Every structure is written in structure tokens, then in C-alpha cells.
């Protein structure tokens, strides 16, 4: 867990913020998943009961990431192509959005678009760089900033603070969040991920994602798989220019300016490789 806040501050940070419960449809799908003989057709049947989830599944399977020659129109067919882990990841993200769909969160449509885009870009970066578990990259990309909507529900001036945090004065957005609110979206994202029973590694990375200074020893004292997942996330954020989408056109990604070269070296990429990867992903329309 991140050492950004003390235990007392962590307790205080959760006051007045409701961590949304895991929705029933996801519980039903999870129960099917852990049954002795899980059935993909049964899972597809559960998804088809929800129009929004059905649409999300079809949108992802028909995205450039999969590069299918024919459009998939059946949820059952889509589920068989995506596989169980990908389906769970997509539904997790969509369900969280529905749990936070009051008027305040509706105004954060750019956040949800950003999260969905980033998840696909993360999975594509994983695929292009040879990382075998693209599902994990997708899940981290989807949930890495899930604490932001929760901050929005509590603090009316949060969007303004986000813009200021990306002005170039701060290396990490959470530094300004801690200063203004005595909490940050990485902490809230960690508790949300824990309450939804996401993999422990993903929960920890959500908490630690801004601790690059503390994890400066990229080559030692930190789990190799977590290093790679975190590096993929940071590369995807830079490709997507997420700092500009959340902070405005004049925003700067100071974190990448400081650690970008080291991140690329960990992935075995040169600056030229990165630019080529970015160009390819943008051409795909991911």
C-alpha cells in the first residue's frame, strides 16, 4: 500500500465517500466463473439481460485491437472470442460507471471515455511489446484512476484541481490532491478495487502508480511483473496524452519527463521504438 498518507489520514480520507458495492450481475457472473464447470453461454445469457453491458462487450470485440474482418453482432459470439477474463474486466468498468451515475458523474463523461480508451491502449502496448497477460494491462488501464469519480462526488472543485495538478508545477497529481483534500484518488481507487475483489496485484498498483520516485530502483527491490505492468500503464498514458485530456491542452506530463527514459529502458524500447509504437496504435484507431 502507498506510503503517501498516514493510517490516520487514510481513515479520514474515506469519511463522506461511499465505495460503490459490486453490482449483482457481476456477482452472478463471478459465481458462474468459480463454479466447477463454468459456462460461457450462461455468462453471455446474463450479459444479454443488460443492454448497456451487451453494447460495451460488442464495442470492444469490434474494436481495431482485435482486427476482426467481420463485425460481431452476437453477445454469445463476442464472449467466446474475448474469453472470461476480458469479459469480467469490461463488465467491472461498466458496472462502476453505472454505480456512480448521478448528475455529478454524468459531467465526467470524458473520464469514462478516457478510461475505456486507455484500457484498450494498455492491452495493445502489452501485445506489441510481448507481455503475455494483456488482460492484466487492460484491467489496470481501466481501473487505475477509478478513484477520480469518487473525488468528484465529494469535492465540487475537483476538476479545477486536476487541471492545476497538470500545469507543470507538480510531478504527481496526488501531491496537490493531498494538499487540498488530505486524500487522493489513488487511495480511493485502491479501496474500490479491493472491495470489488480485483486481483491483489492490480489493487497494489493502483495505490502505488505515482510512487515512481520511491520505486526508482526499477531493476531491483520491486517485483518484475509489477514493474512491467506499471511501465505499460505509463507508456499508454503518454501515448493517449491523458494529461491533456484531463488537464487541458497546456497540461504537462512531468512524471514522464522525469521517468520516461527509464520506463522505456525497462521495456527494452528506444525513443524511436516508442514513437513507432505510438504511431502504429494511433493509426489502428485504438
The predicted pLDDT at position 28 comes to 80
Instruction: Let me know: does 108 contact 149? Beta carbons within 8 Å.
Output: yes
The predicted pLDDT at position 198 comes to 78
CA within 13 Å, CB half, 63: 20
Q: What is the chain's Cα-based Rg?
A: 19
The predicted pLDDT at position 93 comes to 66
The predicted pLDDT at position 159 comes to 87
> pLDDT tens-digit profile of 173-208?
999 999 999 889 999 889 888 877 778 899 999 999
The predicted pLDDT at position 279 comes to 94
Domains, the chain, in order of start with CATH, read: 23-99 (no CATH), 107-286 (1.10.3210.10)
Per run of 10 residues, the mean pLDDT along the chain (length 286 residues) is 48 55 68 78 81 74 76 83 78 64 54 78 92 86 86 86 92 92 90 80 92 68 86 96 87 93 93 95 78
The predicted pLDDT at position 264 comes to 95
d(CA 192, CA 124): 25
d(CA 123, CA 134): 5
Amino acid at each position: 500500500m502507498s506510503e503517501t498518507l498516514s493510517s490516520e489520514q487514510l481513515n479520514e480520507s474515506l469519511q463522506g465517500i461511499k465505495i460503490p458495492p459490486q453490482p449483482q450481475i457481476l456477482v452472478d457472473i463471478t459465481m458462474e466463473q468459480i463454479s466447477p464447470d463454468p459456462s460461457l453461454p450462461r455468462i453471455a445469457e446474463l450479459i444479454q439481460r443488460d443492454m448497456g453491458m451487451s453494447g460495451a462487450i460488442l464495442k470492444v470485440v469490434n474494436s481495431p485491437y482485435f482486427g476482426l474482418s467481420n463485425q460481431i453482432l452476437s453477445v454469445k459470439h463476442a464472449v467466446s472470442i474475448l474469453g472470461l477474463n476480458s469479459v469480467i474486466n469490461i463488465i467491472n468498468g461498466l458496472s462502476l460507471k453505472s454505480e456512480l451515475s448521478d448528475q455529478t458523474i454524468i459531467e465526467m463523461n470524458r473520464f469514462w471515455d478516457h478510461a475505456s480508451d486507455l484500457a484498450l491502449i494498455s492491452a495493445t502496448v502489452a501485445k506489441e511489446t510481448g507481455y503475455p497477460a494483456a488482460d492484466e494491462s487492460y484491467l489496470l488501464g481501466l481501473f487505475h484512476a477509478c478513484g477520480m469519480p469518487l473525488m468528484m462526488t465529494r469535492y465540487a472543485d475537483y476538476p479545477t484541481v486536476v487541471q492545476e495538478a497538470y500545469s507543470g508545477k507538480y510531478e504527481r497529481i496526488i501531491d496537490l490532491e493531498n494538499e487540498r483534500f488530505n486524500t487522493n484518488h489513488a487511495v480511493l481507487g485502491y479501496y474500490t478495487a479491493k472491495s470489488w475483489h480485483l486481483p491483489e496485484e492490480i489493487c497494489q498498483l493502483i495505490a502505488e502508480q505515482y510512487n515512481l520516485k520511491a520505486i526508482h530502483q526499477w531493476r531491483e527491490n520491486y517485483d518484475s511483473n509489477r514493474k512491467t505492468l506499471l511501465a505499460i500503464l505509463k507508456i499508454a498514458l503518454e501515448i493517449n496524452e491523458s494529461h491533456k485530456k484531463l488537464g487541458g491542452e497546456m497540461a504537462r506530463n512531468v512524471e514522464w519527463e522525469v521517468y520516461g527514459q527509464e520506463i522505456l529502458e525497462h521495456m527494452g524500447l528506444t525513443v524511436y521504438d516508442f514513437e513507432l509504437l505510438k504511431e502504429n496504435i494511433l493509426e489502428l484507431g485504438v
